[in-house]
């Protein structure tokens, strides 16, 4: 008390300092708390140790098969649902994987040809999954839950990756294009392609995922590639007319796709998986985001008939003139009847010879028909 009476100014300063320190202390502590933006840190698919609970958001590995062999270089992921786990276990092949996710029992099967389960419902066929050369393969199945705005790390896989979207929307930005998927759709990205997954829309995105890769390599590795940010822009709408046009093309016909990212791509055996178009080219299977396609041209025969007529008609007329002259030559005991017959034979012979040569040349000239031009108001 003596100190207070003898030093009133010092006491007041000390009191003010103590009050200020107590007032500012909560602010300093609160600054140490994790911010909400931490939830949007890049994700990767991780194993969840037995007995531990999963985080609210993330990608979690739920099944693995090693030592896989495939008859062809292309495989498909078949997804079935079953009423009970025991029925799914009874139906699966030695390489099948049964998991329980999203309130359902799923059987995952990988095969080069359509797989048939005796019991259960085929929900989706994801693919084609183009496999890199390898002595054996490993398949890792995952279940992913991510909120709008969340993203994966930028990475690559040494094999194809496939998704079956259970709910919400997702966008994959890769070095070869943008691939979007919505609920009940599938998405496939080839192996060794840098990518970043970004969750679009306004709803929680849930998906089943598979990566099939060379067993000698890890499932995925970080990549130094920098995405331009296309997935963060307003989601592009895939024209349903485009998808219907491609779905109606005979798989044996040659198709020419014009894109504003990679130029003209030509091939055959066109197929569609979600918003991704696959085309078998001379360089192998190509995956093209449907939103990047500007026009579709389909081969509708060749120019064999047209070139055959153009080259055959002059020869036929010349043959008719020569045949008529020889048949009507008086020095060769010609007559009007022989002249007509000679002209007819010359017409047919000349037309057949030159027309065949022209048709052979014309068969190498393909006729393309424009089946789909992207409307100007939907071009991106």
User: What's the order of all strands across the beta sheet hosting 121-130?
Assistant: 97-101, 104-111, 74-82, 121-130
- Show contacts of 364-369: CB within 8 Å, 24+ apart: 364/302, 365/302, 365/303, 365/304, 365/307, 366/254, 366/299, 366/301, 366/302, 366/303, 367/299, 367/300, 367/301, 367/302, 367/303, 368/256, 368/297, 368/298, 368/299, 368/300, 369/297, 369/298, 369/299, 369/300
Instruction: Output DSSP code: residue 302.
Output: E
CA–CA gap between residue 128 and residue 34 (Å, rounded): 42
> Can you tell me the mean pLDDT for 118-133?
88
Residue 236 has pLDDT above 70, yes or no: no
Q: Write down the pLDDT at residue 61.
A: 94
Return the number of other C-beta atoms located less than 10 Å from residue 100's C-beta.
12
Please give the pLDDT value at position 30: 31
Q: Which of 34-48, 189-203, 213-227, 229-243 has the lowest mean pLDDT?
A: 34-48
Note the pLDDT tens digit of each residue in 285-308.
Answer: 777 777 778 889 898 888 888 888
Give the range with max mean pLDDT: 191-200, 262-271, 301-310. Answer: 191-200
- The torsion defined by the Cα of 220, 226, 228 and 231, in degrees rounded to 10, comes to 30
pLDDT of residue 376: 55
| Whether pLDDT at 10 is above 60 | no
160/131 Cα distance (integer angstroms): 7
Q: Report in angstroms the alpha-carbon separations of 217 from 130, 155, 158, 197, 356.
A: 17, 14, 7, 22, 56
Q: 325 or 215, which is more confident?
A: 215
pLDDT in tens, 72-87: 899 999 999 999 999 9
pLDDT in tens, 241-253: 887 888 888 877 8
**Whole-prediction pTM:** 0.58
The C-alpha angle with vertex 72 and arms to 69 and 75, in degrees rounded to 5, equals: 80
At 201 the pLDDT is: 87
Using CA atoms, how far residue 16 sits from 4, 11, 19, 28, 254, in Å, is 14, 9, 5, 18, 85
The partner residues of 81 in beta bridges, in order of sequence, read: 106, 121
pLDDT at site 9:
42
Torsion of CA 17, 18, 21, 26, to 10 degrees: -150
pLDDT in the model for residue 105: 96
- Indicate the pLDDT class of residue 41, thresholds 50, 70 and 90: low
pLDDT at 115: 58
Domains in the chain, CATH or no CATH each: 40-231 (2.60.120.10), 240-301+366-378 (2.30.30), 304-362 (no CATH)
Q: In the predicted model, is pLDDT for residue 211 greater than 70?
A: yes
Residue 379 confidence (pLDDT) above 80: no
Which structure tokens are listed for 159?
């094999």
- According to the model, what pLDDT value does residue 238 have? 58
Mean pLDDT score, 188-200: 93
Looking at per-residue confidence, does 80 or 45 come out higher?
80
Average predicted confidence (pLDDT) for the chain: 81
pLDDT at 319 > cutoff 80:
yes
- For residue 132, the model assigns a pLDDT of 92
What pLDDT was estimated at residue 227?
92
- Residue 375 confidence class, pLDDT cut points 50, 70, 90: low
pLDDT digits (tens, 9 = 90+) for 14-30: 344 333 343 333 333 33
Given the DSSP bridges, would you call strands 58-68 and 45-47 parallel, antiparallel or unpaired? parallel
The DSSP line for 252-293 is TS-EEEEETTTEEEEEEEEEEETTEEEEEETTEEEEEEGGGE
């Amino acid at each position: 008390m003596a100190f207070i009476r003898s030093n009133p100014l010092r006491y007041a300063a000390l009191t003010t300092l103590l009050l200020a320190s107590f007032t500012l202390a909560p602010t300093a502590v609160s600054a140490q708390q994790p911010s909400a933006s931490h939830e949007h840190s890049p994700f990767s698919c991780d194993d969840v140790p037995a007995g531990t609970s999963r985080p609210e958001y993330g990608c979690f590995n739920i099944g693995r098969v090693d030592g896989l062999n495939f008859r062809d270089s292309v495989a498909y992921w078949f997804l079935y649902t079953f009423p009970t786990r025991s029925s799914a276990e009874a139906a699966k092949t030695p390489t099948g994987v049964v998991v329980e996710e999203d309130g359902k029992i799923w059987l995952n099967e990988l095969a080069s040809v359509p797989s048939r389960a005796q019991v259960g419902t085929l929900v989706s066929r994801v693919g084609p999954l183009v496999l890199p050369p390898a002595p054996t393969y490993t398949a890792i199945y995952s279940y992913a839950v991510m909120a709008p705005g969340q993203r994966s790390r930028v990475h690559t896989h040494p094999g194809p990756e496939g998704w079956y979207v259970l709910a919400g929307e997702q966008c994959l930005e890769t070095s070869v294009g943008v691939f979007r998927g919505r609920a009940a759709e599938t998405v496939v990205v080839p192996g060794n392609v840098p990518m970043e997954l970004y969750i679009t829309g306004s709803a929680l995105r849930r998906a089943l995922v598979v990566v099939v890769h060379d067993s000698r390599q890890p499932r995925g590795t970080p990549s130094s590639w920098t995405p331009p940010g296309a997935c963060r822009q307003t989601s592009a709408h895939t024209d349903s007319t485009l998808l219907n046009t491609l779905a109606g093309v005979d798989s044996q016909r040659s198709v020419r796709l014009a894109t504003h990212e990679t130029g003209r791509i030509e091939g055959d055996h066109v197929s569609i998986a979600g918003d991704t178009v696959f085309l078998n080219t001379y360089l192998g299977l190509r995956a093209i985001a449907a939103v990047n396609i500007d026009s579709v041209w389909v081969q509708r025969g060749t120019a064999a008939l047209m070139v055959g007529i153009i080259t055959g008609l002059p020869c036929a007329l010349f043959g008719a003139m020569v045949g008529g002259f020889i048949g009507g030559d008086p020095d060769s005991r010609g007559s009007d009847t022989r002249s007509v017959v000679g002209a007819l034979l010359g017409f047919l012979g000349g037309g057949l010879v030159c027309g065949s040569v022209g048709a052979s040349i014309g068969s190498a000239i393909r006729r393309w028909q424009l089946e789909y031009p992207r409307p100007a108001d939907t071009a991106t």
